Chains A and B, each alone.
Chain A
Amino acid sequence: MIALVFAGLVAVLMACATYLLLQRHPVRMVIGLGLFTHAVNLLIFGTGVSERGLPPIIVDKASFAGDISQYVDPLPQALILTAIVISFGIVAFLIALLHRRNSLEAVESCTDRVDDPFAMEPAHALEGVEEDYEWLEDVVLMNEINNSKGSR
């Protein structure tokens, strides 16, 4: 029964994630990715859950006489912990990138753009290394100014 609930939950989450990932709006894509990773975490969690789930802690190993199969498998929880940290980090980085993009250019509403969710102004979407490096120097300077502000 509980496995069925998990399966249903995972399916619903996956469906929502797919729907959001297919949207053009970048923020929806980020939320979709978050849901997608959560769905997978639940899926792995579901593999460790049994009907009679005792916590997998055996205090006295010498006098243990119970049935191992009554305990929950602890490994999936360790796996999920790792997976959560990784997906959290990546989604955080993605949000930082999106923020960076928005601060670089006041783009008109991204939902208006049909072809490409990440498209920017045509001048910046040009390929190659056509931009000059002065631009980057400004960034470095800005960082230094920010750092010196922080240290005061």
Chain B
Amino acid sequence: MDLFANWLAAPVVVPLLFAATSLLVATRVNLRQIRVQRTLALIASVLNLGVALLLLRTTAIEGQRIVLYAGAWQAPFGITMVADALSAIMLTLTALLMLAIVVYAMGTLDQREGMNFYPLLLFLLMGVNGAFLAGDLFNLYVFFEVLLMSSFVLLSLGGRPNQVNGGLRYVVLNLIASTVFLTTAGVMYGTLGTLNLAHLAERMALAPESLRIVLAGMLLIAYGSKAGLFPLFFWLPASYHTPHPAVTAIFGGLLTKVGIYALFRIYPLLFPELLATWQPFILLIAGLTMLTGVFGAMAVRTIRRVLSFHVISQVGYMVMGLGLAASGNELALGFGMAAGIFYIVHHMIVKTALLMAGGAAELTMGTGQLEPGHLGGLAKRWPWLAVIFFVAAFSLAGIPPSSGFVSKLGLLQAALDAGQWPIAAVSLLVSLLTLMSMVRLWQRGFAGPLEATRVPQRSPHRWLTLAPITMLVLLSLGIGIFSAPVFGWARVAAEQVLDRDGYIQAVAPTDVIAPVGTEH
């Protein structure tokens, strides 16, 4: 057990080592440097996937929690890394997406490939992995910043005018959100005297209710703006369509989900009673996020903007899962959460595949405009891409037998079990609107006659582009058809997330001054 705990460092250390190594060869932009960096990135993402699967087996299938005390410092004093089923599921998905994106980038990237794209991607991977494993609030903050820093550079890589503009908005709004997060961490340390999550969970009972509400509200603002929740999502549609399609794909699939993960981790652990009292509020936010996202998607006219707005609307479904986690029914208690986690699994895979396919369409046609005379008739020029896009789009809309159907069904069932029919109705409506939006994308972008558009200077490499998208879409279909084992893992993850005592016992913080009035 002790020996195995050291594996927890690997998802952070492996990308860091490979990123640093591939920076060493980056002396001058030439083909050899790009080849070395490609190879290193591929090796790193395969290794990372292996470690993630190892952790998934131990946590989600065997139901354990793994805790690593860095430098053998006891829990509240040193850096603690904790992996449970939720962390492992997120790590595995991240590893899969990262592998897909590395291959996709090889097929599509332009000159920006020479600007240290792969090391930046690996630093991003390190930050995301670290955030999923962090056992205390400050390390969560630090890893958030690591991933944000690399995402800032990836977003503005190449420095084209609209990228710089989108990048500025992205940086400013994310820095504000991070600073709010840091403020919360400071207030928590000042009032409760600890930052370790398990220790905080123990001591939170000592805090007066007003303090708990303030802390929970500030964290909701911080994570909510990272996740793209209803009033705080404006940075996302302003920036996500500007970088290279490979960057948009990994951002859309990965980054907002780190915010969602933090909400799923922190709220049940630190504020379990607020999860119940704030349930109408959380569900309201979820509903508004879904609606604004899907309406925004229907209003914009380029393919990647449409897909970016769908990221927002889908985040609403995940928060709906969080809101349903606290419903009074004991049977539905874990079920809503599990449905939310399953939705994350589905969304990360399908959304990345869609953004990759949409980006490939844009690169092939030289434009992303969904107007007559621009994008259109791609099904004739590249039939396979059109087929793959079709399957992914209908998975997003929730047509059986895709993973989208099962995940939406799960959430719907949880909502009806909990008696929350308004949110169930909203989610059905948004599903319908998503389907309409996807049909519009198909008609404007892929069906119809091939318009005479200008040919881009460099078309994407066909098979390197198609292979990762196909892999993800097949995965989505596979999860849809064989949903039972994956839903079982989500179930384990939800149970572990809601089991506060288990988490506290696993981390076992030694308390110097014994807490008074706690139930443990």
Contacts and interface: CB of A to CB of B under 8 A. Distances in A.
Partners in one complex: yes
Interface stretch (B50-58, B157-165, B326-334, B444-452): B157-165
Interface in B398-433: none
Given A124-B161, A128-B302, A129-B368, A40 B111 contact: no
Nearest to B166: A118
Interface string B165-191: 101110110011011001101110110
Interface residues of B, number: 52
Contacts of B164: 97, 100-101, 104
B46 interface: no
Interface stretch (B87-95, B148-156, B342-350, B377-385): B148-156
- Listed residue (B156, B182, B187, B368) with the most chain A CB atoms within 10 angstroms of its CB: B182
Interface residue range, chain A: 35 or more
Contacts, number: 137
Contacts of B111: 133, 136-137, 140
A133 B456 contact: yes
Contacts of A127: 162, 241, 300-302, 305
Contact of B171 (A83, A97, A132): A97
A141 to B, nearest CB: 10
B114 interface: yes
Interface string B119-151: 000000000000000000010001001001100
Contacts of A105: 161
Contact of A118 (B159, B165, B176, B363): B165
B206 to A, nearest CB: 16
A52 B306 CA distance: 59
B289 to A, nearest CB: 23
Contacts of A37: 175, 179, 182
Contacts of A94: 168, 171-172, 175
A134 B183 CA distance: 45
B179 A36 contact: yes
B273 interface: no
Given A86-B142, A97-B167, A140-B29, A133 B457 contact: yes
A79 B169 CA distance: 27
A136 B112 contact: yes
Interface in A88-138: 89-91, 93-94, 97-98, 100-101, 104-105, 118-120, 124-137
A57 interface: no
Contact of A139 (B138, B142, B159, B167): B159
Nearest to B142: A82
Interface string B365-380: 0111100000000000
Contacts of B160: 131, 135-136
A118 B172 CA distance: 11
Contacts of A97: 156, 164, 167-168, 171
Given A127-B300, A133-B456, 16 more contacts: A29-B172, A33-B176, A33-B179, A37-B182, A40-B186, A43-B190, A44-B189, A47-B189, A83-B182, A86-B178, A98-B168, A100-B159, A101-B165, A131-B160, A133-B110, A136-B158
- Nearest 9 A-B pairs (CB), nearest first? A47-B190, A44-B186, A124-B161, A128-B302, A128-B368, A86-B145, A101-B164, A118-B168, A43-B186
Interface of B: 28-29, 110-112, 114, 138, 142, 145, 148-149, 152-153, 156, 158-162, 164-165, 167-169, 171-172, 175-176, 178-179, 182-183, 185-187, 189-190, 241, 300-302, 304-305, 362-363, 366-369, 456-458
20 contacts: A37-B179, A43-B183, A82-B142, A83-B182, A100-B159, A101-B161, A104-B159, A118-B168, A119-B165, A125-B162, A127-B162, A127-B301, A127-B302, A128-B362, A129-B362, A131-B160, A133-B457, A136-B110, A136-B112, A137-B111
